[in-house]
Amino acid sequence: QVQLVESGGGLVQAGGSLRLSCAASGSIFRIMAWYRQAPGKQRELVADITSGGSTNYADSVKGRFTISKDNAKNTVYLQMNSLKPEDTAVYYCYAQRVLGTVYWGKGTLVTVSS
């Protein structure tokens, strides 16, 4: 059974940093990503990384967030710097197998105070 376990969320002040981790078990993934959902808003893609290491970022986080992975551990990270109150959201880990099966983590809350 594939399981994605996020960690690293919490409360930080604007301008601060957090690093989120997502440990995946049970499979090898073509794409791993971070999504987020704020109250009253739709879930949006924050960043993703392919098995080959290519990365993609939402315009709102470019230059501030960095996605990376450890292939041996099937773990993906999201380093978040210069956090803003508008970054407040539940952050979800996402993983997709080569054949297309998608898995989601339960989410970790990031709250950025002003």
Q: Is 38 a residue whose pLDDT tops 70?
A: yes
Rounded CA-CA distance 102/94 in Å is: 7
Taking CA 96 as the corner, what is the angle to CA 10 and CA 73, rounded to the nearest 5 degrees?
65
Rounded CA-CA distance 34/55 in Å is: 11
Q: Is 63 a residue whose pLDDT tops 90?
A: yes
Structure tokens at 53: 């290491």
Q: Is 27 a residue whose pLDDT tops 70?
A: no
Structure tokens at 82: 């210069």
Per-residue confidence (pLDDT) for residue 1, from 0 to 100: 75
Q: Is 25 a residue whose pLDDT tops 90?
A: no
CB 53 within 8 Å of CB 39 = no
Rounded CA-CA distance 100/1 in Å is: 16
Structure tokens at 27: 């499979």
- Looking at residues 37-64, what average pLDDT do you find? 96
